[in-house]
């Protein structure tokens, strides 16, 4: 935790009501957007590195997480609302533009922010989840076809209260399990049942590894995450998944739209996101015409900026330094 002694915490006004920020450094603004189930803390290794490189690094709690507001309406977590939160954060910080970088759900949130508000977000970095333009089949129908006799985890998350009933009696244990399931050093063997699917009448955690934390996750780190979610619950984070059909409708006019800003992609070679979406990565010459560099880290899982902080920091700072000022 010593590396976080120079981090300043504050809350700013946004359409969500309140967005909590963790900030370090001075210089051009870099907005860091986390995924599920995480928080601003997932960027703890990047804040000091970006600050040392001459940037104003700001990691946010997305609406529904941590110390940010948690609207009650499920529809309040649609992508267009999250984009406006990000714009409000930039404005509240006294800036006109920012580079936006996202991991996991933060990656599509960052991408849609850059797509909808290109005058604000001058460059976009995507970690773990590749860019896919809006369009394609209705998400709920596509997910329902996955897994055969098993249920894809995104479908499992759709009914309000269902996943919460699994997670919230033992938040710490569930978080430890999902972090281990998607980490390179603790994930199930390739021939084991996939943790992204749920058997009939089963639970996600039935397929999570137990007994060992991944190397990147200390007991102290786990306590930070568990403490936040034990206080807030998981509904805010899960509501993001419950808006994918709404997003599909909201972004119908942007079907196939490329991201034209300077961009970066960093993925883990052992992350299911990069294998499921391999075609999206192959399409980058068309969908990311401003792509500066793309990296696939060998032997790395899903929690990329925490599993490989030094490599990710080097890639991020190198990319940022090469951006037009």
Each residue of 100-112: pLDDT tens digit? 999 999 999 999 9
CA 84 → CA 21, 89, 191, distances in Å? 15, 9, 42
Flag whether pLDDT at 95 surpasses 90: yes
What is the DSSP pairing of strand 291-297 with strand 17-24?
Answer: unpaired
DSSP secondary structure of 145-160: TTTTTSEEHHHHT-ST
- Read off the pLDDT of each residue in 108-131 and give the average, rounded to a whole number: 98
Flag whether pLDDT at 295 surpasses 50: yes
| pLDDT band at residue 147 using 50, 70 and 90 as cut-offs | confident
Opening angle at CA 277, ends 134 and 294, nearest 5:
95
Residue 187 confidence (pLDDT): 96
Q: What is the pLDDT of residues 210-231, one digit of tens each?
A: 989 999 999 999 999 999 999 9
Q: What is the pLDDT of residues 4-60, one digit of tens each?
A: 779 999 999 999 999 999 999 999 999 999 999 999 999 999 999 999 999 999 999
- 3 state DSSP class of 9: strand
| pLDDT band at residue 3 using 50, 70 and 90 as cut-offs | low
Residue 1 confidence (pLDDT): 41
Q: CB of 90 within 8 A of CB of 97?
A: yes
Which residues are the active-site residues?
Answer: 104, 302
- Read off the pLDDT of each residue in 106-119 and give the average, rounded to a whole number: 98
Q: CB of 228 within 8 A of CB of 237?
A: no
- Read off the pLDDT of each residue in 243-269 and give the average, rounded to a whole number: 97
- Read off the pLDDT of each residue in 174-178 and give the average, rounded to a whole number: 98
Strand partners, 265: 126, 294
Residue 170 confidence (pLDDT): 97
- Read off the pLDDT of each residue in 123-131 and give the average, rounded to a whole number: 98
Strand partners, 33: 60, 102
What is the DSSP pairing of strand 263-268 with strand 291-297?
Answer: parallel
Rounded-to-integer distance, Cα 273 and Cα 49, Å: 26
Q: Which of 60-64, 78-82, 149-153 has the weakest average pLDDT? A: 149-153
Average pLDDT over all residues of the chain: 96
Please state whether 104 falls in left (phi above 0), alpha (psi between -120 and 50) or beta: left
Residue 2 confidence (pLDDT): 40
Flag whether pLDDT at 239 surpasses 70: yes
Flag whether pLDDT at 300 surpasses 80: yes
Residue 148 confidence (pLDDT): 82
Percent of the chain at pLDDT exceeding 90: 95
- 3 state DSSP class of 237: helix
Q: Which of 144-153, 181-190, 209-218 has the weakest average pLDDT? A: 144-153
Rounded-to-integer distance, Cα 171 and Cα 186, Å: 19
Flag whether pLDDT at 242 surpasses 50: yes
Rounded-to-integer distance, Cα 177 and Cα 258, Å: 36
Q: CB of 220 within 8 A of CB of 52?
A: no
Rounded-to-integer distance, Cα 42 and Cα 59, Å: 9
Flag whether pLDDT at 282 surpasses 80: yes
Q: Please provide the size of the chain in residues.
A: 325
């Amino acid at each position: 935790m010593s590396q976080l002694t120079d981090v300043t915490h504050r809350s700013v006004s946004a359409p969500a009501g309140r967005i909590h920020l963790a900030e370090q450094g001075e210089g051009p603004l870099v907005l860091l957007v986390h995924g599920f189930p995480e928080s601003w803390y997932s960027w703890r290794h990047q804040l000091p590195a970006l600050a040392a490189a001459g940037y104003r690094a700001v990691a946010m709690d997305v609406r529904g997480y941590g110390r940010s507001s948690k609207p009650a309406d499920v529809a309040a977590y649609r992508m267009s609302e999250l984009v406006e939160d990000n714009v409000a954060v930039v404005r509240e910080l006294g800036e006109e533009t920012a580079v936006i970088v996202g991991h996991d759900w933060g990656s599509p949130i960052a991408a849609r922010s850059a797509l909808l508000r290109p005058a604000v977000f001058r460059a976009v970095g995507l970690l773990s989840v590749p860019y896919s333009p809006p369009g394609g089949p209705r998400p709920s129908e596509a997910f329902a076809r996955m897994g055969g006799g098993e249920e894809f985890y995104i479908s499992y998350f759709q009914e309000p209260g269902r996943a919460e009933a699994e997670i919230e009696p033992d938040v710490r244990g569930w978080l430890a399990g999902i972090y281990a399931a998607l980490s390179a050093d603790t994930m199930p063997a390739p021939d084991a049942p996939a943790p992204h699917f749920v058997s009939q009448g089963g639970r996600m955690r039935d397929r999570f590894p137990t007994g060992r934390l991944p190397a990147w996750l200390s007991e102290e780190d786990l306590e930070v995450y568990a403490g936040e979610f034990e206080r807030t619950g998981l509904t805010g984070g899960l509501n993001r998944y419950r808006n994918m059909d709404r997003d599909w409708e909201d972004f119908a006019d942007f079907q196939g739209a490329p991201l034209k800003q300077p961009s970066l992609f960093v993925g883990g070679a052992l992350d299911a996101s990069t294998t499921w979406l391999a075609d999206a990565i192959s399409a980058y010459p068309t969908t990311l015409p401003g792509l500066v560099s793309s990296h696939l880290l060998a032997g790395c899982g899903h929690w990329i900026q925490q599993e490989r902080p030094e490599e990710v920091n080097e890639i991020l700072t190198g990319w940022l330094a090469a951006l037009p000022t």
